[in-house]
């Protein structure tokens, strides 16, 4: 096994699974639960102008949160993943290798699975200007230059 594969496996095992049912509702802060509730309520619907940021922003406001200072791409307290476990309701901000504006994306962790896999709730992915879900492995996001996770 190569060092890269061993490191990836070690990091994957460092993720603390949430229980029961991996949704971790009992362990989530109230604001996280509110963000997930907002995502569920708006599934299949357009939020704001249909941009990914609109979805994250409206979910944050509905949960009683706000952007700290003048930083619209900061969604709360930094989660130092993979050392800290991610939770449903955490908000992800990614920056890809492409140039802006297409190089940024905001999504909400909707559900946590084993091995770094999460289900994202997101808007304006694949030109779908409404809220959708997709399952991804946070360790295998190939186009991502930076990944920031925030607890709202």
Domain of 122: which CATH number?
Answer: 3.90.1720
Provide the number of structural domains found in the chain.
Answer: 1
- What was the pLDDT predicted at 102? 66
Run means of pLDDT, 10 residues per run, the chain, 152 residues: 36 38 69 98 98 95 82 86 95 82 87 96 95 95 88 95
Q: Global pTM?
A: 0.81
- Count Cβ atoms below 10 Å from residue 6 Cβ, excluding itself: 10
Domain that includes residue 121, residue range: 3-151
């Amino acid at each position: 096994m190569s060092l890269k594969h061993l490191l990836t496996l070690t990091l994957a095992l460092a993720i603390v699974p949430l229980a029961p049912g991996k949704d971790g509702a009992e362990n989530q802060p109230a604001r996280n639960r509110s963000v997930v509730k907002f995502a569920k309520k708006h599934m299949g619907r357009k939020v704001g102008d249909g941009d990914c940021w609109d979805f994250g922003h409206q979910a944050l406001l509905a949960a009683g949160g706000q952007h700290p200072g003048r930083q619209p791409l900061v969604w709360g307290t930094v989660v130092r993943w993979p050392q800290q476990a991610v939770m449903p309701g955490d908000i992800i901000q990614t920056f890809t290798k492409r140039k802006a504006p297409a190089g940024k994306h905001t999504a909400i962790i909707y559900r946590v699975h084993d091995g770094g896999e999460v289900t994202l709730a997101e808007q304006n992915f694949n030109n779908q200007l409404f809220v959708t879900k997709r399952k991804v492995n946070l360790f295998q996001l190939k186009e991502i230059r930076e990944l920031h996770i925030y607890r709202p």
